Amino acid sequence: MALTPVEIKTELMKKGVSVTELAKRWGTTREIVSRVIHRYGGYAYPEIRRKLARYLGVPVSEIGRDDTRRKSKRAA
């Protein structure tokens, strides 16, 4: 089962790190890390999901969401 945003933020607080600090370490923005934590629709940011999961020591499936963009139904 996926971690809730509150559970993720609680774990980050226990580790003494902020979303802003992680974003700087990973070369991204605070907004993107926050979007992954809160599982906003749209692009899934797979690299940030992997980094956050690794940092928290949980499977990637427990962080964020899969890519939710609509796939084209047209044949390639």
Number of structural domains, the chain? 1
Look at residue 28 and tell me if it is in a domain: yes
Look at residue 43 and tell me if it is in a domain: yes
pLDDT tens figures, 48-73:
999 999 999 999 989 877 655 555 55
C-alpha dihedral, 54 to 56 to 61 to 62, nearest 10°: 180
CATH number at residue 20: 1.10.260.40
Domain coverage including residue 26: 5-62
User: How confident is residue 38, by pLDDT bands cut at 50, 70 and 90?
Assistant: very high
pTM for the model stands at 0.80
Look at residue 29 and tell me if it is in a domain: yes
Look at residue 25 and tell me if it is in a domain: yes
| 56 within 8 A of 2, measured Cβ to Cβ | no
